Structures are given as structure tokens and as C-alpha cells.
Structure 1
Amino acid sequence: MAEGDDQAMTLSRRALLALLLVFTLIWFADIEWRDLTHTDEGRYAEIPREMVASGDWLTPRLNGFRYFEKPPLHYWITAVFYELFGLHDWVARLWTELAGWLLVLLTGWVAWRLYGPAASWISALVLAANPYFYLVSHISVLDTGLALFMGLTLFAFLLAQKQSRPAARNRWMAVAWAAAAGALLTKGLVGIVLPGAVFVLYSLIRRDLAIWSRLWFWPGLALFLALAAPWFVLVSRANPDFAHFFFVHEHFERFLTRAHQRYEPWWWFLPFLLLALLPWLGQLAGLARAAWQRFLRPAADFDERLFLLLWIGFILLFFSASSSKLPHYIQPIMPALALFIGPWLAEHRPSLRGSALAGLIIALGGVAVLAFPRPEWAPFLPWWPWLGAAFGLLGLGSVGVYLLGGHGRRALLLHGLTWLLFPAIILAGSQQVAELRSARALVEPLRPVIRDAPFYSVDFYQQTVPWYLRRTVTLVGWRGELDFGIRHDPGRWLPDHAAFARHWRTEPDAWALIPRSSLPALQRLGLPMQVRAENRDFVIVSHPEASQP
């Protein structure tokens, strides 16, 4: 890009601060607005709550059972937040949303270091306006924290390769190794295997063996092990069966088999990748040509853009080949995608009119669908005004970008902010149908009455119930992901309705959460039950002798 063009796309410091303030307000606006939902948000709120309650920060527990599906870093950070700010929904979500916010800033800063000021804010805007990235960053799952540490690993490695002085390069590699330890402690082996595989692939494609000498390998490995290994050693000593379950069952069996019942076809992630690229549909052809040319004619020295493309492609293919798939798994490719798209936009300054027309078509299509709801959509109709507002905003913003000519800072800012607000409004509106996925309205009003009385969850484990009760419950007939913990502590679990009936008849202060589908079978047992609360899917009953609300 010519110097004049770069200056034309550069924002003043005041404009950057204003943009950061607006972005931050939008990003964190709904952190307490929405109830936590089943399954992930309830699970990842409850595990650190139990750490704080029990004082055991070594062995993660879910509903009182040992839970080794994931390492503890997300739990530790959230537990620290609980200690600082208390037990609130916004605190349970804080680390996930903060990690996404930090990634946007980090992406912009790295783009500034590599490509200059124009590419900096544009790259940050690309990531912030990514609908997929926004949605995953506002649901409490582990993948945004993983993306932060993997992104820091990637960015530190890229910056290290650009350093001419060994001391500066080694400092950045120290950051990369430390961040890889954070990724490992967030979600397991993928945090180190995926970056390592991309590095090997790049070395093979470029036939670059010299890059191995710039890894700061032995000191970096020592730092990595010093940070990551202690928890694995200590938890294995306290729980001898941890290693097999965590490394074999949760990694190799998850990838190679359908044991976790999350199998999807190979193309499963392509619609989610398309969701991430929706704001830039008009630029896809140019971006594809740029990517192809990068493979054909890479830079003579270290080519960070080729490395970014390999990062995106390999991680996407890895999870596509896995036998276990969930929508949020490809979150770690999003910072690399933004760091590839942002500088390209800054250098080529393409017209955004094509993307604006695509946004308008999406908006009109969304409004048309909302205008003719199907009968089975009836439970979601309270969400409709928010969805209509989101599509309306998208349409108006797209028209504005088109009228601005699709060029320049104003068009790009309006385009990015429109696509940032679009998923924000949709997700905020989901609170109108929260009871479909959250037990808050069902159980929280009863918490002062239930207190420490026996509480059973029959035939299902609604993951937000323990969080909103601020206590564990006794499971009846359901094992699911707690099977490992139940096998090691079967006395805290009831196998069937008959066992539940025996306990119920001897506990006059007992309460239970029961799916509506299971209620007739329990009624046929002649159990004394009084309905205290209900929604579409569940009823809460108590023994008639239990305390009245």
C-alpha cells in the first residue's frame, strides 16, 4: 500500500479510543442480562463453584463427582473471579468474554507490529465483527480461552521469527511456550499438538530446517513443563486412574471413535466457517486469490501469511476429521483468519458494496422467514422482535455502507459495527426464551425454601440446576458424562425409580426435578408429591410435608 493510502485508512488516537470504548460497551453489554444455559454454561459455572465451596482446587468435581474431561485452568480463573466478585451469572461468564475481548485487542496489536496502523484497527474490527467469534465468545465454553492461549502462541511465534536479534527472538519464544502451557491447561493436548503440527507442516512445505534453530527449544520446553506439568503430576498422584481417562478416553477415543456420540459428517464445520465470513462475502474471491498466490509464491524469508493459512487450514481439517464435533471447536482459527483478512483489506481497499448487498439480502431473507413462522417455532416466538430488530439493523447498516460507496474508513467502520451489533442483538434476545435452556426461573425462587433438604434430579441432569440452587443434587437413573465419577462413588447416585421411591417415602422434606415425560411413571408408584413449579419440560415437586414457599 502506498503511504498516502495507508494514512487515508489510519485512525487518529482519539478515534481509536472512541472505537475501543464503543466496542467494549457492546461486547460486555449483556454479560448479566442472559441466564446461564444447559449444558456448557451450567457445567463451567458449577465446577469452579464447587472448587470454592470445597477448597479442593486440585481435583475438579461436577455435582460432587470427580470430573476429568478437561484440565483446570478455566475453572481456576473463574474460581478466582468468584472469590473476588461473588457467585453471579456475569462472573461465571467473565473469563470467556474477557478472553474474546483480549483476543480482539491482541490481534490488532500484532497487526500493527507486522503491517502498520491501518491494518491494526481493521484486523481488530474483522475479528470483532465475526458473528461466529462473537457468539462463541459470549457463551461460557472453554474454546475462547483456548483460542486466546493458542492465538498468543501463534502471534508470539510470528513476532519471534521477525526478530533479527536472538535475545528479542528468544523473549517472544518464551511467551509462545508459556502460552502453549496455558492452552494445554485449558483444553488438553490440542493446545500443543495443533500448533506443533502446523509448525512441522510449514517446515516441510518450505523445506526450511533452519526454522527449528529459532524455536528456543530446550529452554522453552523446560518453561512449558514447569508451567504445565505440576497439575498433571499432582492430580495423577491423587487420582491414579486420571491418566488413562484423560489421555486415552478424552483424547484418542474422542478423536478416533464415536464413543462421545458427537459424530457429524466431514463438512460439519463449513457452515460455521461461512458464518464467520458472512461480513466479507463480497471479498471472498479476492481473499481466495490472495491465499492461492501465497501458496504459489511465498515470501523468500519467513512467510507469516502462509503460516496463518496453514494454521487455519490444518486446524479446520483436524476437527473435520475428528469423530467428535461441536460447533465451537474451530474458535482457535478465528484470530488467524482476522490477521489474514485485515491486512489484505488495508492493502487492497476493495469496495464493500458487494458485501453490503449480501448483508441486505441476508436481512431481507431473515425478515421474510420471521414473517411466516411455522407452528413448531411457537416456543421461540418471544424471540421474534429481537430477531426482527437484528435483521432490520443489518439491512439499514448495509444500505448505509452501499450509499457511502463502499470505500473509506466510514464505510468500513459502519460495516464492522453493523456486523458486531447483529449477533449481539440476536444473543441478547435469546433471554426471552431462556426457560427453554435454563432452570433459573424454575429453581432460583425456591432456593430459600429448599435450602439443604434432599433434592433429586430424576432421569436427567439439567446442568444449571446445581448452579442456581448453589448446591449439588442427587441423580436418579442418569449417568451421562458423570459415568466415570459415578463408578468411583456410586453411593451418591440412585440407579432407578424404585431406589428413588424408597428414599422419597422416608424423607418428608425431599424435593425433586422431574422431566414431564417421567412424571406419569412416578405417579403410578403412588408417591406423595406436590407440584411446586413447572415449565414446558420439567416440574419441581416436593414431599407434601416439605416446607411451604
Structure 2
Amino acid sequence: MLDRLPDTPHPRLWLALFCVLLWLPGFFTIPPGDRDESRFAQATRQMVDTGDYVRIRLGDEERNKKPAGIHWAQAAIVHVLEATHLGGRADIWAYRGASFLGALLAVLACFHWGRALVGRRAAFVGAALLGSALVLVVEVHIAKTDAALLASITAAMGLMGAAYLAPAGFTARRAAAFWGALGIGILLKGPIAPMVPLLTGLSLFLMDRGWRNGTPWLRALRPAWGVPLMLACAAPWFIAIGIATEGRFFAEAVGDDMLGKVGAGGERHWGPPGFYVAIFGVTAFPAAFFVLQALPSAWAQRVQPPVRFLLAWAVPVWLVFEAVATKLPHYALPAYPALMLLAARWMLDPLATKPRAWLRWLAIAALWGVALVLPAALLVAIWLVDGSRVDVFAALALVAGVLLAVVVTREARAGRWVRAGLSAVILAIPFYSAILEGALPRIDAVWLAPRVAAALHRADPALPIPVPPGRFGIAGYHEPSLLFATGGATALLRDGTAAAAFLAETPGRTVAVSDRDETRFRAEATRFGLRPREMGLVSGINISRGRWLTLQLYGVE
């Protein structure tokens, strides 16, 4: 059955089914995460609330870091859900919809254009492996840009691959689609999207000795009018935001955000060169088992145009991200479709070079390591942070991980690579389900923000959520998830002294004060002649800072 699945007459339906089963667990139930997800979601929510789709704001502050493309996509989905009464702007999963659709388009694009590069069967296997990769599964559950960006990059690179392999038959319409996909990518995350084909093109120019043999694929892409088309897709918003912010967007987005990440570890996310190689076994699980063993064969066959294109796609992009000082696991995601297609091509090639024993054992160690260590670490973490509780879902994930590793290793040892690959995808479904739907949403200690909102509602049922301006303030916990849970009008107070002043200023207010600010709050409340009334208590761990926190809600008697 699995051997014949790549020949199905409905490959896109099967791939979509795999993606839904892999990604839906936890999609609706995992609370808003810190920090990027809640920043993006809250900024979009404020767009929807205000109707201002040019400026990006988080609370009262401008958020001049990324273009508005992902916010528009999220806002459009929110409007559709509200019009159909299926969801609303208070639901975090509504904002994750753009990530879900982007990842799905990336998988389907990997298959659609991968057929010309590696054949239909291998393209199916490669796209399925891409959908099961841990880093993409995680990105689907985070309401931000990277899954949608992957869709635009995969589509553009698939079209570029078609131009490289058959430039004579590459039409103007396909060239327009290539540049349009890059224009959408610019609206999503600035220069990252055009950087990928640029690096690929430079690599192909060097590998093919373009100065001697020419570059027919470049002529087929029609850059003379294609580049202006790409820029025209993004120019109206960039002009509008430049006017609206008086140039501050470009100073902060380019100078502070982008260039700051190149030379230094932005937001404490520094990593050494080799970081993405070191974590590849985790981020690409379970597909890393196949990719690692396929790389020697891919390099040996680099004279073949499809393999050469895929290597020119993956390698320079990977090296650039290794060189950039700021590192996060998902940054190397634009190289993943090429790596998955190379792995699938090797899996279906009976004459491909077999890996050395050490590389085979490294791939086995990566597969078994993640299958065992990830759920085991989750078991221990839940025991430590959630009151010595043994989580049955984390235990089930451990069982599912062992089953996945056993089946994939057995099928690979027998040389049944298609079965091994598709078994990995199918058995990843219960593995991810137990973690994302079963274990993570139930770790109460780490989901502070929704518990604060619930405590606030219990303390004052008449207080609407999101809270109106001037009604609720908090000292000692300023994570973006709190803004999403309680609303952008929540006052983020500097310390306990400011909390007491906020409470004293107007009757009917409520404040939440952390244990670290308690002493100063009570001293200042006494000075104001207040008699604070305890209205609720929330304790847990602030995972962004890695420390325990207790928040006490106060009103005034």
C-alpha cells in the first residue's frame, strides 16, 4: 500500500490529508505563545479593531520590524471567520490560519514543481517529508511569518528550477508568477525571499561557468521587467508606511532589526557557525534520517542539472544563515524543500551512492534521539513545573516515538525506502498529537496570560475582555501574550509603586502585581491611604525569562 501511494491519482489530496492530520493537533488548543506569536497576533488584532492596515502597532507602540503582509493575511482570515461565525479576533488559532495555509501551499508547491526536478514519485515523498518536519509543524502552530514565507520561496524556487531545466519552454506567464511570488515574499519578510534565488543564481553561474556558457535560465526569467514587477508588488505599502511613520519604519526595520541580527545576536538569540547543522536532527525530524544519508550521493551527482539546482538552492542559503550571528531554529527553513527533494530522489534511486557507516549511524542516532529524548524531556519538564504530575500524553508520545523509530529503522535496513519515508510521516501523526494536543495545552504553569485573564474575569465579571482603557494594569509581567489575552489597552506598569499610583488614580481599577513588586506596592498603597483588596492569585513560570512568578490581583475596598 505505502509503496503504491506515490502513484496515487490524487497526490495533492493525500498530501493535504497528511498535513491536516500532522498539524491540526494543538492548533486550536495551545494558548498564545510568547513572544513572537502574541506580538504578531496582537498587532493584527489592533489592525482589525482600528481599521488602520498601514501602521503596525503593539499596544501604544509602533512595531517597525517586519512588513505588513502577514498581518493582512491574518486579518483577512479573521474577517472571513467572523463573517461566517466560525471564529473571531479573540481566538489565537484564527491568526495561525495564515501559517497553516502557508505551510500547506509550501508542501503542495514542493510536490508540484518538484516533479520536474526529481520525478513524480520522489516529489510526493519529498513533499510529505517536508510536511512532517518538526520545525514546520511548530511554525504552523505559531501565528507569524515563516510558514507563509516558505510558501512564496518554494513557489518561486520551483519556477526558477523549471527555467533552469527548460529555459526554452519557460513562458512569460511563469516568469511573472516567479517575480510575483518574490514580491509577496518581500511583503512578508523583506529581502529574505529574493535572497534565496539570488544566492542560487550566483551559485549556478559559478558552477556552470556562466561567463563562458551563458545563462539561458536568467534570460527565461525576464528580469528586465520582472524586477520592477517584484518591486511594484510591495512598493505601495512601503511608500505608505514611510509617509505614515515619517521614515521611522525603515530606520528601525533595516537599521535595528535586520542589520542588528547580522552582526550581533538579536534579542539574545546568538549562535555559533554550525548551529543549524548541530540541531538539524531535531528540526528536520523525522526526515533528517533520510537527508543525512542522501547528502553524499547528492554531492556525487552534482553534475546532473536537477541535483545541481537543488544543491545551489540549499547550500548557499544554509551557509548564509550559519554566518549570521542571530540564530533561531526556523531561519534555515527556506533550504528544507530542496533538502527533502534530494533525500527523496536518493530514496527512489536504486543506483545511488550508499552512505558510509558513520553517517548511517549518525542518522539512526538522530532518529532515535529525538523520538526518545523529546517526549522524555517533556515528561520530566511537566513533573518539575506542574506539581510532580506524570503526564499520560507525554508517556504516550514516548511510546509513539519508539514505534516510529523501530518501524523506520526496520524498513530502511530492508531497503524499502519509500515505505520507510511514508511510515515516518504517518507515525509522526500520533507522536505529534500526543505532544501538541495532549501534553502541551495542559501544562497550566507555563500559560500565565490566559490564567490572568480568567482570574480577572472571575474577580470582576462585569469587566469586559479585552479590557477598556484605564481599567486594568499590571506590574512585573509584560509579555505580549498578556496583551493578547486581556487587550492592547492593558497598562504595563513599571513597578509596584506605579501599580499603587494607577490604582489610586481612578475608582474601579484593578491591578496585578508580581511577588517581586509586592513590597513597594504595599508601601506606596499605604502612602496613598489605600486599602488594597485581594481579588485573585495566579502562579506559574514565565518561560520567556525562565523564572517562577506569582501575580496577585488587587482592587480597592
Tell whether the structures are fold-level matches, with TM greater than 0.5. Answer: yes
Is the 1:72–1:186 contact (alpha carbons within 8 Å) kept by the matching residues of 2?
Answer: yes
Deviations 1:223-259 (A, max 9, x none): 1121111111111111112221222222222212346
Residue 185 of structure 2 is aligned to residue 175 of structure 1: no
Which of 289, 292, 297 does residue 296 from structure 2 map onto? Answer: 289
Instruction: Report the Cα distance in structure 2 between the residues aligned to 1:179 and 1:79, rounded to whole angstroms.
Output: 20
Could you tell me whether the CA contact under 8 Å between 1:35 and 1:438 is conserved in 2? Answer: no
Q: Percent of aligned pairs with the same residue?
A: 21
Match of 2:504 in 1: 505
Give the match for residue 27 of structure 1.
23
Q: What's the CA shift for 1:449?
A: 3.5
Greater Cα shift, 359-368 or 86-95? 359-368
- 1:229 alignment partner, one of 226, 235, 238: 235
Q: Contact conserved, 1:130 with 1:419, CA < 8 A, in 2?
A: no
Aligned residue pairs total: 515
Q: 1:336 deviation in Å?
A: 1.9
Distance 2:4 2:331 in 1: 37
Q: What residue is the counterpart of 1:543 in the other structure?
A: 555
How far apart are the structure 2 equivalents of 1:124 and 1:234? 38
1:455 and 2:472 aligned: yes
The one-character-per-residue Cα deviations of 1:439-490 (angstroms, maximum 9, x if unpaired) are 112214534533325222324312112222244222223xxxxxxxxxxxxx
Structure 1 residue corresponding to 2:97, chosen from 94, 99, 103: 94
Q: Hey, what does 1:534 align to over in structure 2?
A: 538
Distance 2:289 2:240 in 1: 52
Q: Distance in 1 between matches of 2:373 and 2:554?
A: 48
> Judging changes above 3 Å, is the alpha-carbon distance between structure 1 residues 397 and 544 closer, same or farther for their aligned structure 2 residues?
same
Question: In the superposition, relative to structure 1, how do residues 518 and 306 fare at CA in structure 2: closer, same or farther (>3 Å)?
Answer: farther
Distance 1:399 1:110 in 2: 32
Q: Secondary structure at the match of 1:518?
A: helix
* 1:193 and 2:195 are equivalent in the alignment: yes
Amino acid at match of 1:112: R
Residues 420-459 of structure 1: pairs in structure 2 closer than 5 A: 420-428=429-437, 429-444=439-454, 446-447=456-457, 448-451=461-464, 452=468, 453-459=470-476
1:220 is displaced (CA, Å) by 0.6
1:101-500 equivalences under 5 Å are: 101-165=104-168, 168-209=170-211, 210-211=214-215, 212-240=218-246, 241-258=248-265, 260-280=267-287, 283=290, 286-295=293-302, 298-299=303-304, 303-348=305-350, 359=367, 363=371, 373=380, 377-379=384-386, 382=389, 384-401=391-408, 405=414, 407=416, 409-428=418-437, 429-444=439-454, 446-447=456-457, 448-451=461-464, 452=468, 453-477=470-494, 497-500=496-499
Checking the alignment, whether the CA contact within 8 Å between 1:180 and 1:224 is kept in structure 2 is yes
- The Cα offsets for residues 190-212 of structure 1, whole Å up to 9 and x where unpaired, read as 22234313322321232225323
Amino acid at match of 2:72: W
Match of 1:480? none
2-structure distance, mates of 1:412, 1:359: 12
**CA RMSD in angstroms, aligned pairs only:** 3.1
Question: Greater shift after overlay, 34-43 or 505-514?
Answer: 505-514
Residue 485 of structure 1 is matched in structure 2 by none
CA–CA distance in structure 2, aligned partners of residues 225 and 375 of structure 1? 48
Secondary structure of the 2:7 match is coil
8 Å CA contact retained: 2:347, 2:417: no
Contact 1:147 1:333 in 2 (8 A): no
* Counterparts in 2 of 1:17 and 1:148: CA distance versus 1, 3 Å: closer
- 2:543 match: none
Q: Assess, with a 3 A threshold, how the Cα gap between structure 1 residues 462 and 365 changes in structure 2: closer, same or farther.
A: closer
Report the 3-state secondary structure (helix = DSSP H, G, I; strand = E; otherwise coil) of the residue aligned with 1:36: coil
Whose relative contact order is higher, 1 or 2, with alpha carbons under 8 Å and at least 6 apart? 1
Q: Deviations over 1:170-197 (max 9, x none)?
A: 3222112111111111112222234313
Aligned AA for 1:311?
Answer: W
After superposition, the C-alpha distances for 1:355-389 in whole angstroms (9 at most, x for unaligned) are 67874565456677678x48983438657422221
Aligned residue for 2:326, secondary structure, equals coil
Q: Post-superposition shift, 1:26?
A: 3.4
Alpha-carbon spacing, 1:383–1:332, altered in 2? closer, same or farther (3 Å): farther
Change (3 A) 1:348 1:540: farther
